[in-house]
């Protein structure tokens, strides 16, 4: 039992170290191994097992096209925002967040005829509004990133529940955000490009759920 515990502790420590800053003054062989592990993560080789669910949502099959179209546009604008944060471009992120907010405000939620669809959409769209407004209201990149996770979960939930796109959508996670509490974001590319740290830890993260 003691040996199992020691091995488990070692593996956990190694996984944590793989996302740490490679600029630390460690042995050359360790740095090479960490760099190789980062490269593996970056190429999307760490896809979750089929059927893995991180965010539980209902599944709405019959939804009016105008709502679905607007939601698809919202996803595209979110991706633009996420990419701006990857590049640590606060001005571009601010502009993209304003576009997300405009789409959320224009979302035809009232046109949804089924009550549970409408209630779910209203709740998630309100989260999108609040988060996008917070990001668009500041040019502080750290504050923008602080508001990304709630926005990401709401956008992912809406996309998943309403089947808003034909492309694959990846729910990705970095374990080191928020003092190692971790945080998620949404991508349409399996390769890891971390919006919370940008170039300082660009490839730190993993795919946790995939929506086809």
Question: String of b and e for 144-153 (b: at least 16 CB within 10 Å)?
Answer: bbbbbbbbbb
pLDDT for the residue numbered 20: 52
| 7 pLDDT above the threshold of 80 | no
Strand, coil or helix: 134: helix
Ranges of H-type helices in the chain: 2-17, 28-42, 65-86, 90-105, 115-136, 141-146, 148-162, 177-180
| 104 pLDDT above the threshold of 50 | yes
**Among 30-39, 88-97, 121-130, 133-142, which is the least confidently predicted range?**
30-39
Domain ranges of the chain: 2-42, 65-211
Tell me which of 176 and 33 has the higher pLDDT.
176
pLDDT tens per residue, range 178-205: 999 999 999 999 999 999 999 999 999 9
86 closest CA partner among 199, 206, 175: 199
pLDDT for the residue numbered 24: 39
pLDDT tens per residue, range 36-46: 344 434 444 48
Is 57 in contact with 211 (CB distance < 8 Å)? no
Rounded Cα distance between 26 and 32, Å, is: 10
| 177 pLDDT above the threshold of 70 | yes
Tell me which of 82 and 212 has the higher pLDDT.
82
Tell me which of 1 and 149 has the higher pLDDT.
149
pLDDT for the residue numbered 19: 61
pTM for this one?
0.80
Residue 206's beta-bridge partner residues?
173
| 100 pLDDT above the threshold of 50 | yes
Structure tokens at 67: 């709502």
191 closest CA partner among 49, 44, 80: 44
DSSP state of 183: E
């Amino acid at each position: 039992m003691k040996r199992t515990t020691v091995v488990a502790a070692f593996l956990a420590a190694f996984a944590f170290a793989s996302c740490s800053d490679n600029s630390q003054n460690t042995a050359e062989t360790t740095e090479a191994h960490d760099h190789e592990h980062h490269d593996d993560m970056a190429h999307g080789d760490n896809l979750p097992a089929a059927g893995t669910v991180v965010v539980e949502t209902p599944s709405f099959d019959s939804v009016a096209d105008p709502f679905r179209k607007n939601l698809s546009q919202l996803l595209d604008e979110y991706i633009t925002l996420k990419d701006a944060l990857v590049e640590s471009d606060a001005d571009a992120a601010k502009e993209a967040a304003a576009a997300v907010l405009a789409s959320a405000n224009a979302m035809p939620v009232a046109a949804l005829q089924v009550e549970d669809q409408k209630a779910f959409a209203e709740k998630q769209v309100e989260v999108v509004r609040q988060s996008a407004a917070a990001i668009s209201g500041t040019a502080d990149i750290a504050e923008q990133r602080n508001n990304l996770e709630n926005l990401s979960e709401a956008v992912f939930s809406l996309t998943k529940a309403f089947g808003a796109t034909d492309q694959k959508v990846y729910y990705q996670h970095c374990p080191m955000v928020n003092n190692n509490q971790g945080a998620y974001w949404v991508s349409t590319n399996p390769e890891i490009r971390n919006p919370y740290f940008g170039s300082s830890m660009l490839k730190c993260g993993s795919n946790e759920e995939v929506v086809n």
